[in-house]
Amino acid sequence: MHDETNPWSHLSIPDKPNSYSSRRVATPTSHSFYWAKNDLGQCCLIFSCASDTKVKIDEVKLKGILLEQHISNEKQFNLIIKLIDDPSRDIFRTICNDLVASTRTIDAKKPSTVVLAINARLKRWQELLGKKKSDLLSNSEQLGLFGELSILNEYFLENFKPITAIATWRGPSGSEQDFGFGEHLVEVKSQFSTSDSKIQINSLEQLDDISGYIWLVHQTFAANEHKSGISRTLNAIVSEISSKIDSDIFAMDSFKTILLEIGFEADPAYDEVAYELAQRTFFKVSDAFPRIKRSSTPSEIISARYVVDIGLASHLSISENQFLGEVFRNEQA
């Protein structure tokens, strides 16, 4: 059985110069990715495709990591991501799993597109790792992240396998809704319990169900300076989710990547405030729900943000059981 925390652990070091021992990446993907080790004992990720693949890749400067390409004796084009600095191993594994995940939806018949996507993603990692430690997230950003993580933890991880649950979390990637799978879209709005009940809708598309069925979850939290049995800090909920998914390195690395993209890194400052759920209300976004839709807005209006008093729409709320049935058990009427 392979040690999935170190996918290279059971690979032997080949005797022949410039050769590799390898095994296919187990994570579902239509592309040929391999964990590999070369004759120098260096850990690699190899993307292999037809030798007629022709694409120019840009130089990537990642500490301890090299990007190479060559044609093998079997007439295969190989793009090789190589670890040359062992202390970078943990982040290297995370990067490799991210490359597999970020190319999963690309047509297997378009290997050049896969190569370009890998190159672009590595350049993004170059930007992320090249930044100095960023400032802390603002109070509103911390609350928003905590709110999304609460829904991920309590609903999606309870109903899906870790990698599927993490893949549904789409808000940080710039999607209109925070969670999505198939035609099921979930938008999360979180506020402090001392705030009014007005929520901001960030675009004409956010509550437009042209892309699928939308549910809105409105949460209010009390902020406490001391943790209690029912309150948690931002660091604590990240740790709780990590412990739930740590048996799946692909899910774990995807989770870490999303947090880095958001700008979150564990910090003692994130333990200074503990959040306690005060109220959670569920809505099915239908014709009766107050909203402005892109599909019914004049084309001359390019974009818009607007505010909804969710308190005045409380009569449209649904039960948690109805939410669970419709979203996770496909019980729509």
Quick: pLDDT tens for 19-48: 899 999 987 788 999 999 999 999 999 999
Residue 182 sits in the same domain as residue 312: yes
One domain, residues 168 and 311: yes
How far apart are alpha carbons 197 and 255 in whole angstroms? 31
| Residue that is last in its domain, among 79, 104, 130 | 130
Arithmetic mean of pLDDT over the chain? 90
What is the distance, to the nearest Å, from the Cα of residue 184 to the centroid of all Cα atoms in its chain? Answer: 17
pLDDT-derived band at 1 (thresholds 50, 70, 90) equals very low
Residue 43 CB burial class (10 angstroms; 0-12, 13-18, ≥19): buried
Q: Tell me whether residue 15 is in a domain.
A: no
What CA–CA distances, in Å, run from 166 to 105, 162, 249, 255, 259? Answer: 16, 6, 12, 6, 11
Question: Cα-flanking dihedrals φ and ψ of residue 168, to 5°?
Answer: -75, -20
Q: Is 316 helix (H, G, I), strand (E, B) or coil?
A: helix
Q: Are residues 242 and 284 in the same domain?
A: yes
Q: Is the model's pLDDT at 4 over the cut of 70?
A: no
Domain total of the chain:
2
Confidence of residue 317 (pLDDT cuts 50, 70, 90): very high
Nearest to 96 by CA among 3, 6, 2, 13: 6
Residue 10 included in any domain: no
- Residue 282's identity, in one-letter code, is F
- Please tell me the predicted confidence (pLDDT) of residue 227: 66
Tell me, yes or no, whether 119 lies in a domain. Answer: yes
Are 189 and 318 members of one domain? Answer: yes
Q: Which two tokens stand for residue 76?
A: 């295969």
Residue 13 lies inside a defined structural domain of this protein: no
Say if residue 199 is in the same domain as residue 172.
Answer: yes
171 vs 160, which has greater pLDDT?
160
**Domain-terminating residue out of 130, 157, 189:** 130
**281 within some domain:** yes
41 with 168, same domain: the answer is no
Which is nearest to 143 in space by CA: 273, 241, 266?
273
Which pLDDT value is given to residue 133? 63
205 and 102 share a domain? Answer: no
213 and 333 Cβ atoms separated by less than 8 Å:
no
Helices (H) and strands (E) in the chain, counts: 8, 13
Judge whether 8 lies within some domain: no
In angstroms and rounded to an integer, the radius of gyration of the C-alpha atoms of the chain is 23
Q: How far is CA 180 from CA 59, 186, 229, in A?
A: 34, 6, 31
Tokens of 331: 């019980």
More confident residue, 220 or 9: 220
Position 7 in a domain: no
Model's pTM, two decimal places?
0.81
Residue 39 to residue 276: CA distance in whole angstroms: 54
Q: At what angle do helices 234-245 and 249-262 cross, to 10 degrees?
A: 160
Strands of the 32-38 sheet, one edge to the other: 20-24, 32-38, 43-50, 76-83, 65-71
Same domain, 93 and 193: no
For residues 196 and 72, state if they share a domain: no
Confidence of residue 132 (pLDDT cuts 50, 70, 90): low
Beta strands in the chain (DSSP E): 20-24, 32-38, 43-50, 65-71, 76-83, 179-181, 184-192, 198-201, 213-224, 231-233, 274-284, 306-309, 317-318
Does the pLDDT at position 68 exceed 50? Answer: yes
User: Does the pLDDT value for residue 53 go beyond 90?
Assistant: no
Q: What are phi and psi of 234, to 5 degrees?
A: -65, -45
Q: What is the pLDDT of residue 333?
A: 41
pLDDT at 331: 53
Average pLDDT of 12-20?
Answer: 91
Q: What are phi and psi of 29, to 5 degrees?
A: -160, 150
CB 177, CB 187: distance < 8 Å: yes
Residues 38 and 161 occupy one common structural domain:
no
Cα–Cα distance, 83 to 153 (Å, whole number): 33
Return the SS3 of 116. helix
Same domain for 123 and 148, yes or no, is no
The pLDDT, as a whole number, for residue 226 is: 67
Does 323 fall in a domain? yes
pLDDT in tens, 210-268: 889 999 999 999 998 766 678 899 999 999 999 999 888 889 999 999 999 898 989 99
Q: Which domain holds residue 213?
A: 139-328
| Domain co-membership, 121 together with 147 | no
Domain final residue, candidates 130, 156, 180: 130
